[in-house]
Structures are given as C-alpha cells and as structure tokens.
Amino acid sequence: MKTENKRTVTHIVKQLLNLSIKEIDHVIGNNHYDYLMDVKEYVELSSTFKSDYWKIVNRVVDNGYVYLKTNEVIRLIRDKIKTEIYKRIKESPVPNIPKNLQYLVGIVKNRPLPRAPLESSQLTTYPPCAMRVIARSEANENLSHFERFFLTAFLLKTGKSVEDVIKFFSTSPDFNEKVARYQVEHIAGLKGGRKAYNVPDCKTLFSQSLCYKDESCNGISHPLQYGKRYVKRGEKSSDRKGHIPKEDF
C-alpha cells in the first residue's frame, strides 16, 4: 500500500505537475526519506508556508536536492494540484450539447455560484484538520455538527468575518441562512451568552477523529498554534471552554 502511494505521488508530481523528483529509500538519523526534490522547486512550493518547519534551513539539503518524506511532498503539492485541475477544466473544450439536453444548461446556469474559495495563501497556513473539513465542505459532503462548529470557530478566530463564514457554508446542500447566521453569530459571541466559543484543542479533535496530524503539527497542542501567523491571536480568557452550541446549522 505504501509503495502504491509512493508510486501515485511520483506519477502525479512528474506527469501532472511536471516537477523533477527522485524516489529514494534513505534513512538519516531517525528519519526515513522517500524523495529528493530540486531545491529551487522546493523553495517555490513552500514559499507561502509560514511555519518554520518548512524553512529551507530546517531541511536536509544535499547537492541541490531536499530530502522529503511522502506526506511532506503531498503537502507541498496540494495547492498546485488544485490550481492545475482548475486550469485544465477551464481550458478543456466545451462539448456540443445535444438539443434534447440543452434545457439542462439553463438549469445549471441558474444554480447559485460556487462559494468564494479561501485564498490559497491562507489555506497553506491552516492545519491539516481544518483543511480536511474545508475539503469535505467544498465537496458538498455532509459535515457533522462538531465539524461545522470547529470550522466556524476556527475561521472566526483566524480572522474571517461572520459574513465570510456564512458565505462559505452557503452552498451546503441543507443551507438555511437564518439558522446558519444565528449559529455563526452565536459561536462568534454576538448572540446568547455574548462570549465567543473556543476552537477545540488537538486532544478534543483527536477524540472526535478529526485530527490528521502530520510533521507540520509537531510541537503544537492547538490548531491555532499552527504556523506563526495565528499564535499571537490565541484564545482569550473570556472565551467559552469545553462547550459547543446544541443546535445544528
């Protein structure tokens, strides 16, 4: 299975993204490395990452190549894949639609526009747990109550406005603006007890099977500690702890 994963990653990196990468099977100290990546390509791919973990001075570099593990390569190419897929979809020719199916074009055209994507520079500073819930939401999968609560609290704490968060959820299959607005404002501390809710810590997220820890999470115990950018914004002592609102949205 591991070999299969590695083969798939190598294929995507080389064929889809046209990047040079070499498979290796190399142990240095306690670390097992699967790839060598050209240092220029590494710097370009990691340039928007804020965490020190990705800084070139903290990597093993030899002869113009950076040593990487498979999951690190996956993290590095995530945004680039997304961009590449959008580009290919945009460039693909529009097929001729048979007359008897053209009424469907009208239906699709009148559907609400897709939500405004979160900026990729922001996404790269989000921890894997938040990225996972965002990806599920963007794929219109049904989020659990806890996932919605976590994502809402996280987005609010990392600088998104109530309107941004509502807009983000607006294309969910069961979206109800009135209910969503109440819940988001409640979590933001604008309703009810007038205290903002805390973002759950890593332990809580783990207990809810929502932790997707990788090396970039090393040394942190709270998603808001991920990347320097949010450390200073940490939790306020007045925030509610240990509760989530009862109603779903």
| Whole-number Å distance between alpha carbons of 120 and 27 | 33
Q: Is 227 in the site for ligand SF4 (CB under 6 A)?
A: no
| Closer by beta carbon to ligand SF4, 61 or else 211 | 211
Residue with tokens 């941004």: 164
Show the site string, 75-104: x = touches ligand SF4 by CB under 6 A, - = not: ------------------------------
Torsion sign (Cα): 16, 22, 28, 32: positive
Report how far residue 67's alpha carbon sits from residue 90's, in angstroms, rounded to the nearest whole number: 34
One residue of 128, 153, 168, 198 binding ligand SF4 per CB under 6 A: 128
Give the contacts of 28 (CB within 8 A, at least 6 positions apart).
60, 67
- CB of 76 or CB of 217, closer to ligand SF4: 217
What span, in angstroms and rounded, lies between the C-alpha atoms of 53 and 66?
A: 13
| Stretch near ligand SF4 under the rule CB under 6 A, chosen from 92-100, 152-160, 189-197, 204-212 | 204-212
226 is a contact residue toward ligand SF4 (CB under 6 A): yes
Rounded CA-CA distance 233/169 in Å is: 24
State yes or no: residue 229 binds ligand SF4 (CB under 6 A): no
Which residues bind to ligand SF4, rule: CB under 6 A?
Answer: 127-129, 202, 205, 211-213, 217, 220, 223, 226
